[in-house]
Amino acid sequence: MRNRIINEYNGLNLLEKLYIVIRWRLCPFELIEEHVPKEGFIVDIGCGCGLLPNTLHLLSTDRKILGIDLSNVRLAVAKKSEKEHVKFERKDVKELELQSCDAIVMSDFLHHISYELQESVIKEAATKLKQEGKLIILDLDKKPYWKFLVGKYIDKIMAINEKTYYRDRRGFKEMLERNGLSVNTLDADLNLPLSDVLFVCAKK
């Protein structure tokens, strides 16, 4: 699957390919995909270089996917893979306004924005999610602590000089539930020394 993803991009340089290979190994994109509806309009908030939108499209062409991110550098890479049903836009989540969505996904994104802004993004997502839709979030748990430290160190390498705002599993669950969502959690570490957890949410 990784090679299929790389082939979705036009004109990647060596560093961009290397980033995609590393990111693919660290993030459970295929596990996330299993919980996303096979059709409908899907938004990836904090899409980075577009690996998750491309994974979602490759595994079901009945999905229409919009990836949004603030980074011009990452979006420039993502746009090398744009196609009819996979589009990318630059948006600041401080001014986030979503359309009605069948699914909203966020992978390793929320801890890069302030706690107050996390709450605002979740509120907007919960409001715009269709009644049978899903909100799917991948992020780090703070336990086990040594795995959390490994993930935090990788974050510092991949996103230099960005301040981070981590929550533990309970903190995420409480935030999601107070915004009217039911929450199921899954460990998502890919047998790596990481504390990744997947939150699969639906409207109550």
Average pLDDT rounded to a whole number, residues 8-29: 95
Radius of gyration of the chain (CA): 16
Token pair, residue 184, equals 């199921």
For 115, other C-beta atoms within 10 Å of its C-beta total 14
Q: Alpha-carbon distance 69 to 43, whole Å?
A: 11
pLDDT band at 161 (very low <50, low <70, confident <90, very high): low
What does pLDDT average to over the chain?
Answer: 96
Predicted local confidence at residue 118, as pLDDT: 98
User: Does pLDDT of 147 surpass 80?
Assistant: yes
DSSP 88-156: EEE--GGG--PPPEEEEEEES-GGGS-HHHHHHHHHHHHHHEEEEEEEEEEEE-S-SHHHHHHHHHHHH
Beta bridge partners of 40: 63
Query: Helices H, strands E: what count in the chain?
Result: 8, 7
Q: Alpha-carbon distance 45 to 91, whole Å?
A: 9
For helices 115-128 and 169-178, angle between their N-to-C axes, nearest 10 degrees: 50
All structural domains of the chain: 1-203 (3.40.50.150)
How many Å separate Cα 188 from the centre of its chain?
13
- Least confident stretch, 15-19, 43-47, 117-121: 15-19
CA distances from 3 to 24, 42, 43, 137 (A): 10, 23, 24, 25
Percent of the chain residues past pLDDT 90, beyond the cut: 94
Average pLDDT rounded to a whole number, residues 136-140: 99
Name the residue among 49, 178, 70 with its Cα closest to residue 122. 178
Burial-class residue 130 by CB neighbours within 10 Å (0-12, 13-18, 19+).
Answer: middle
